[in-house]
């Protein structure tokens, strides 16, 4: 027997991967997990007969000579299949886009790559081989791509993810169905839980990071908690969110986390709790420990191990070009044009910052025929500045709310640096 399996609690990307890898191995039998992730249940139910997955129980007593594993390389995540047969002689091939994970299967052939979704990696093989697929399979696969790339907004998205999306659309993937499958909060209890958690969120500043926490005790575990946390994360837009859910039965606690900062690596943070996933989307299951104690340990761990947030002092341009308020507008214009800057702080004769002059101010003066008048008559005197320890979140808000492209950094009234749109964009691209 030859089989195709994915990780337990199959999600949309896992199902999409299985559907496509079947085209590469047509004589292999796809096997479903006993658990289907809540986000994938609707798709699985509607395509149940089309998918035609075997169950793990069908593997009992079988001699499995070959196994293809998708979307994981961890033994624990496929244990539900491999514990049913003797795998000592099974040849294993893996398609997994979690390149940072170590493979737990000795001798396995591993196909890996840095892609936004696992489905993308397999679809690239189909493109290379010029394989055509059915519209149903294209729809299932593209749903997986959309789900694991966050609708192409996650920062691990690659050009190949878009290339595969184009290929799947050409194979007649149905966008209307995909939109239906990607709805996050489907159940009434999810909506109720969403509103309950929104009313009890706790914001905390930890080393300059704005982190949102939620603790929620439940009688028993419920499906779809990750979708609730993700929805809150998207609405509140903190730097990270940690949803801690304790279940009285069977006495376990789940941590669901999301981050939008490279400096908040969730895999690293949740590792002491047995967690896993992606650097910006991870979870952990803690068994036989009181929920409040898990929450306390998480908060303590973050307080000790979280890196300090990036501040103005980390990204500012230290060599600040300035203009004197006694210069004429023409002199200032020629100076800025020569050094290719769109604005600069203005100093008075005492060397103190007196204002800010930008190309917009110069254009207004030129239009009114005032190029020979002093800069002090045209500069903005309402100063918007920051301190060296302002966090990037505060800096971004200052520049956005005030619609400015230059933010001087002051220390005891003296200019020690400046942050421009270029500096901010560079940070946002790297964060």
- CATH number, position 422: 3.10.580.10
* pLDDT tens digit sequence for 126-151: 999 999 999 999 999 999 999 999 89
Q: Of 277, 305, 333, which residue is a domain's last?
A: 305
- Is the pLDDT at 80 greater than 90? The verdict is yes
* Model confidence, pTM: 0.68
Q: Are strands 406-411 and 386-387 parallel, antiparallel or unpaired?
A: parallel
What total number of domains does the chain contain? Answer: 3
68 and 120 housed in the same domain: yes
Length of the chain: 431
Q: Please choose, from the candidates 257, 248, 250, the residue with its C-alpha nearest in 3D space to the C-alpha of residue 225.
A: 257
Q: Of 181, 212, 234, which residue is a domain's last?
A: 181
User: What CATH number should be reported for the domain holding residue 254?
Assistant: 3.10.310.30
25 and 143 housed in the same domain: yes
For residue 268, the enclosing domain spans 188-305
275 and 231 housed in the same domain: yes
d(CA 140, CA 171): 11
147 and 282 housed in the same domain: no
209 and 283 housed in the same domain: yes
250 and 340 housed in the same domain: no
372 and 407 housed in the same domain: yes
Amino acid 211: pLDDT: 96
State the average pLDDT over residues 191-205.
92
222 and 142 housed in the same domain: no
Under a CB-based contact definition with an 8 Å cutoff, are residues 111 and 121 in contact?
A: yes
Burial class for 170, CB neighbours closer than 10 Å (0-12, 13-18, 19+): exposed
Where residue 414 falls (left for φ over 0; alpha for ψ -120 to 50; beta otherwise) is beta
For the chain, the maximum distance between any two Cα atoms, rounded to a whole number of angstroms, is 93
User: What CATH number should be reported for the domain holding residue 78?
Assistant: 3.90.1640.10
297 and 332 housed in the same domain: no
- Is the pLDDT at 425 greater than 90? The verdict is no
325 and 399 housed in the same domain: yes
* pLDDT tens digit sequence for 324-355: 999 999 999 999 999 999 999 999 988 889 99
Give kind and range of the element (H or E) at residue 278. strand 276-278
34 and 166 housed in the same domain: yes
- Is the pLDDT at 186 greater than 80? The verdict is no
* pLDDT tens digit sequence for 358-380: 999 999 999 999 999 999 999 99
Q: Of 181, 214, 236, which residue is a domain's last?
A: 181
121 and 247 housed in the same domain: no
């Amino acid at each position: 027997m030859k089989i195709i399996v994915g990780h337990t609690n199959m999600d949309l990307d896992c199902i999409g991967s299985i559907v496509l890898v079947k085209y590469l191995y047509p004589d292999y039998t796809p096997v479903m997990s006993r658990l289907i992730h809540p986000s994938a249940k609707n798709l699985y139910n509607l395509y149940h007969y089309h998918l035609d997955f075997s169950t793990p129980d069908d593997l009992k007593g079988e001699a499995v000579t070959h196994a293809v594993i998708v979307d994981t390389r961890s033994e624990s995540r496929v244990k539900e299949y491999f514990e049913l047969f003797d795998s000592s002689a099974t040849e294993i091939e893996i398609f997994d886009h979690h390149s940072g994970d170590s493979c737990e299967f000795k001798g396995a052939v591993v196909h890996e790559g840095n892609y936004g979704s696992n489905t993308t990696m397999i679809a690239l093989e189909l493109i290379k081989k010029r394989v055509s697929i059915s519209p149903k399979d294209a729809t299932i696969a593209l749903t997986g791509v959309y789900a694991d790339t966050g609708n192409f907004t996650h920062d691990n998205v690659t050009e190949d993810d878009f290339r595969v999306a184009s290929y799947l659309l050409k194979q007649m993937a149905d966008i209307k169905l995909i939109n239906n499958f990607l709805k996050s909060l489907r159940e009434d209890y999810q909506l109720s839980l969403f509103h309950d958690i929104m009313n009890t969120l706790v914001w905390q500043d930890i080393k300059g990071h704005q982190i949102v926490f939620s603790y929620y005790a439940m009688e028993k575990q419920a499906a779809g908690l990750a979708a609730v946390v993700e929805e809150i994360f998207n609405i509140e837009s903190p730097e990270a969110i940690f949803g801690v859910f304790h279940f009285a039965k069977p006495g376990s606690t789940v941590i669901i986390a999301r981050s939008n900062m490279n400096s908040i690596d969730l895999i690293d943070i949740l590792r002491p709790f047995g967690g896993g996933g992606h650097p910006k989307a991870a979870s952990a299951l803690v068994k036989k420990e009181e929920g409040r104690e898990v929450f306390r340990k998480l908060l303590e761990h973050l307080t000790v191990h979280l890196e300090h947030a990036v501040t103005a002092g980390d990204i500012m341009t230290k060599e600040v070009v300035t203009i004197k308020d006694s210069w004429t507008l023409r002199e200032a214009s020629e100076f800025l044009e020569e050094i290719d800057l769109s604005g600069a702080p203005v100093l008075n004769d005492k060397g103190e910052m007196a204002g800010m002059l930008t190309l917009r101010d110069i254009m207004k003066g030129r239009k009114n025929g005032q190029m020979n008048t002093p800069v002090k008559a045209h500069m903005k005197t309402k100063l918007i500045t920051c301190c060296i320890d302002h966090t990037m979140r505060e800096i971004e808000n200052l520049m956005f709310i005030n619609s400015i492209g230059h933010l001087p950094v002051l220390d005891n009234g003296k200019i020690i640096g400046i942050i421009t749109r270029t500096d901010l964009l560079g940070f946002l691209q790297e964060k």
